Amino acid sequence: MDAPEIRFTRSGDVHLAYHQLGEGPPDLIYVAGSLSHLEVEWELPALRRFSEDVSQFARLTRFDKRGMGLSDRVQVGTLEERMDDVRAIMDATGIERAYVLGESEGGPLAMLFAAAHPERTAGLILCGAEVKEQITTDWPWGESSSESFEGAMATLANRWPTNGEIIDYIAPSLAGDAAARAWSIRLIRNAASPGSAEAFMRMAFDIDVRAVVPTICAPTLILHRVDDRVCNVENARFLAASIPGARYVELPGDDHVPWAGGPQVLEEIREFVTGIRESAIPDRVLATVLFTDIVDSTRRADELGDRRWRELVEEHHRIVRRELERFRGREIDTAGDGFLAAFDGPARALRAAQAIVDSVQPLGLELRAGVHTGECEALGEKLVGIAVHIGARVAGLAGPSQVLATSTVRDLVAGSGIQFSDHGVHHLKGITDSWQIYELVRT
C-alpha cells in the first residue's frame, strides 16, 4: 500500500498534520505517544502493517500532535488544548463519532476526550496507557521520580538523537533489528528538537488523570502487556478498576506499543470495534515459501551510515519485488532487510531466489535464501505454521549468495533440469525432525 496522503487542518492558530487509511464508519483515531512523524513512521514495516490491518475494518486517522512531526512546531499546549486538536481533526474529516485509541502518553489525552465528549466517542481503547508519570508516595507506579526526571532533562540535548535504544523500550521484540534501530533514530531526529521534546516531556510529566478516570462512560477496552518496560502494568489495573464497565485484557510480553509483539492487540481491537474476532481456525494451503535476507547487514549499516544504508535497502527492496513479480511470487512479509514470499510452485521459487541473489550483487550486497514447500495456515494475506518456520531456518543455514532448499523441494522439481548439491543433514532449531538440505547449483 502506498503511503497515505498527508493533509492539514487548523485547530485555532495551529496547523495539524494527519492522514487516513481505509473507509468508515467505523472510525478509529490513533492518539500516539510522545514522538511522532507521519512520514517516518510509515517507513517501519511493523507500524505500517498494523495501520494497514486496522484499515481493513475501520477508517484509521493518525496525526502529529502540535509541536511534533509535520504539525506546527509551536508550544506543546495544555491537555485541554490538545484534546481540542482531536475534535478539530474529527470536524475537518466529517467524523461524527469515533473509537479513540490512546497509546502511552496519548492515553491521558484519549481519556480526557472520552470524558469530555461522550457523544463523539464510540469507544475508548487504551494500550500501554499512562495515568501519572511522576512517582510519588501515593503513586509508586510512575516512570521516574522528580530527581531522576530533572537529571535526564539536564543531559537531554547531549543525548539527542539517541543511538536508537528507544526501540529497546517501546518495542523490545524489535530490539535486534538493525533497520528498526536506525528507524528509531530517524524518528527522533525528525519528530522534534531537543527543546521541543523537553517541553513535551515536562508537560507529560505533570499529567495526572486519576480524577478524570471515574467519569468516563464510553465503552472502554484496556490492553496492557504485563512486563511493559515503559508503563507499569499497575497503571492498567488502576484503570480497569476505576472505569465503569471497562474490559481489561492483560497480555504477556514487554512491548509497549500496539504495533509490536504479535497480533493479540489487533485481534482485541478488531473484536471491540466490530464485534467479530478473526476465526481461530485458519485456512490451510500448500505453498512454497522463500526467505531472503542480507548477509552481515548490521556491519554494513554501521559502515555506510543511516542515510546511505536506507537508500541501499530501498533499492534492494525494489529489486526483490521486481523479481517476485517476474516469477509470480507473492510478498507476504518484510522485516528489516528480509523478505518472506510465497509461490504456487517450487521451481518458480528456486528460480526467483537465484535471480534475486544475482540481481542485488551489483549493489555490493550478498543475500542468503531458503526454500521449503509445505502446508501453511493462511490468516488473511499472511502465512504461518511449521512450514514457514522450516523455510526460515533453512535460510539461516545459507551462506553468502547461497540458495538452500529442503528435500521436499528437490523431490517436487525432479525432471525440471534444476540441479542440487548435497548440503548435509541438519537439525533445525525448534523443529523436531532432522532435515536433508540441498544447495541450488548455479546455472
Q: Average pLDDT of 160-165?
A: 70
Q: Which of 270, 285, 438 minimizes the C-alpha distance to 353?
A: 438
Output 79 or 296, whichever has higher pLDDT.
Answer: 296
pTM: 0.66
Q: What type of residue sits at position 29?
A: I
165 Cβ neighbours under 8 A, 6+ residues apart: 181
Residue 146 confidence (pLDDT): 87
Beta strands 434-440 and 121-127, pairing class: unpaired
Return d(Cα 77, Cα 42) in angstroms, integer: 26
Which residues are 63's β-sheet partners?
Answer: 18
Third-level CATH fold of 7-274: Rossmann fold (3.40.50)
Q: Are the C-beta atoms of 45 and 64 separated by less than 8 Å?
A: no
Give the pLDDT confidence of 262-275 residue by residue, as tens digits: 888 999 999 999 98
Return d(Cα 334, Cα 1) in angstroms, integer: 13
The CATH number of the domain covering residues in 283-440: 3.30.70.1230
Residue ranges of the alpha helices (H) in 249-337? 264-274, 297-304, 306-326
Between helix 264-274 and helix 45-54 the angle, nearest 10°, is: 20
Q: Which of 80, 144, 133 minimizes the C-alpha distance to 111?
A: 80
Give the residue extent of every domain in the chain.
Answer: 7-274, 283-440
Cα 48-53-55 angle, rounded to 5 deg = 95
Residue 192 confidence (pLDDT): 87
Q: Are the C-beta atoms of 28 and 21 separated by less than 8 Å?
A: no
Give the pLDDT confidence of 103-127 residue by residue, as tens digits: 998 999 999 999 999 999 999 999 9
Q: What type of residue sits at position 429?
A: K
Give the pLDDT confidence of 407-423 residue by residue, as tens digits: 999 999 988 889 999 99
Give the pLDDT confidence of 329-367 residue by residue, as tens digits: 999 988 767 899 999 889 999 999 999 999 999 999 999
User: Residue written as cell 521484540?
Assistant: 173
Size of the chain in residues: 443
